[in-house]
Structure 1
Amino acid sequence: MLGADAAAITVQASGLLPQHLAVTSPLARRAEEIQWVAGEGPSLTAFETGEPALMLCMDRDGPAWPFFADSARGIGVSGVFVFPLRTAAATFDTLTLYGARRNDRREEPPAAAQTFGDMATAVLLADMDSEIVGHVRAIADADDINITIAILSAVHGIGTHETGLWLRAAADEAGRPLAAFAREIMARHGHKPGGIR
């Protein structure tokens, strides 16, 4: 499989659990979860920067993400190759390939990985009304709503539950979808909404 032992396509969203659209093995799922728990790792970096993030050799390239590297080695990961799945405007997903062979010291990532990543992006975006894209949008909406609730709660000194109730009522009164209303409030407070539109 692309010269790797395991793979994952994961929707990354700040503050939420990662959403796995495809995972080939428990190793890939566990390695993705370690990154989320650690708050560091090549998948998170690739999502944030929009650039590939490579750990050709865990021992040599580990210092960039020390907690992830130590934990991933512990479950048998020998190398990680992450490619952001992106449009011209935004990264919405990551393709992560995992090596699990001892003493596998690569000098470059699997040759077809970037091409496969480009193909996966095209397939995922081919139908903008697809279940996958709808899932991505739902995650982005939830993230923006939660951030707005946190902002309003901090600004007005009230609990998040009460703030959430107010936000929903205010969106209903304005006749606006909740996520769109939340993004307007975020923009007024100088925060940039996330996700794809």
Structure 2
Amino acid sequence: MTADAMRAARQVRDALTGVAPQDLPRRLCTAVCRALGADGATLSLLTDTPARQLLGASDSTALLLEEIQFTVLEGPCITAAADGEPVTVQDLRHEPTPWPLFGASMREQLPEVEAVYAFPVYFGDYVLGSMDVLGLSGDTLNEDTLAQGTHVAEVVATALMKVRALLLTGGENPAWEPTDMVRAHWSDTRRAIGVEASRQEVSREDALALLRARAFLTGRTLADVTADVLGRPPGAK
């Protein structure tokens, strides 16, 4: 590990000192941004599965990045989690991506974002989730900083391991804050899938596909469509 990589990893580690478990996702996202010089960051678990759980986002732009990938079921975050390798996209505004729906949605909804860097988060040999970093310019992370990102992702994994009980308890809703974010990206989506499956008399997999198609066709997020199905504002109790 280079001195720079050690410094970035140490910076994230130091930022977590004394942080309460429920505040860990948000503090991690903020620390990752500062350590890597990025414009936004997100964390998610089980990223490439239907049980995906959003842990935290640094700001509204980063949150929308995750909502887009969650809605269209493709993007660098999902690929990094599925393949177990970092994924770099440095010219979203002009260059085609391997994910046509993701690329089109980003250019329409987040035209200010030019680069996305996704890092798998490993627990031992298993990829438990991913860390997304976004940039408003194509050179937000250079080659050295990309190497730092891999080590920072290791620090993130270590931090999450220390509070793994919170990931596995809390009943139907994961025991993370903020509650509205958890609800919109976890329990509400599952409830809406059940409602749609019953209405349309289709499987849960087909119901999720219908909800995603509705979101994409209307230019809305899956969380918004979910709220419509459940008859309440996104994140409302």
TM-score (norm 2): 0.51
Q: Distance in 2 between matches of 1:106 and 1:127?
A: 29
Residue 123 (structure 1) aligns with = 159
Matched, 1:22 2:56: yes
For 1:1-197, list aligned pairs within 5 A: 1=34, 2-11=36-45, 12=47, 14-16=49-51, 18-59=52-93, 62-74=96-108, 75=110, 76-101=112-137, 104=139, 108=143, 110=146, 112-129=148-165, 131-134=166-169
Q: Do the aligned partners of residues 105 and 82 (structure 1) sit closer, same or farther apart at CA in structure 2, a change above 3 Å counting?
A: closer
Q: Distance in 2 between matches of 1:66 and 1:33?
A: 16
Task: Report the secondary structure of 2:97's partner residue.
Answer: helix
Q: Distance in 2 between matches of 1:85 and 1:134?
A: 20
Task: Report the secondary structure of 1:9's partner residue.
Answer: strand
Once the two structures are TM-superposed, the CA of residue 51 in structure 1 deviates from its matched residue by: 1.1
Q: Sequence identity, in percent?
A: 24
TM-score (norm 1): 0.60
Offset from partner CA, 1:54-96 (integer Å, 9 cap, x none): 1122246532112212221331211000001012331111100
> In the alignment, is the contact (CA less than 8 A) between 2:92 and 2:114 conserved in 1?
yes
Question: How many residue pairs end up in the alignment?
Answer: 143
Gaps spanning 5+ residues in structure 2: where?
Answer: 1-33, 175-185, 191-201, 205-237
- Deviates most, 74-83 or 109-118: 109-118
Q: Distance in 2 between matches of 1:13 and 1:106?
A: 24
RMSD: 3.4
Q: Do the aligned partners of residues 116 and 133 (structure 1) sit closer, same or farther apart at CA in structure 2, a change above 3 Å counting?
A: farther
Q: Distance in 2 between matches of 1:65 and 1:31?
A: 14
Q: Do the aligned partners of residues 85 and 105 (structure 1) sit closer, same or farther apart at CA in structure 2, a change above 3 Å counting?
A: closer
Greater Rg by CA:
1
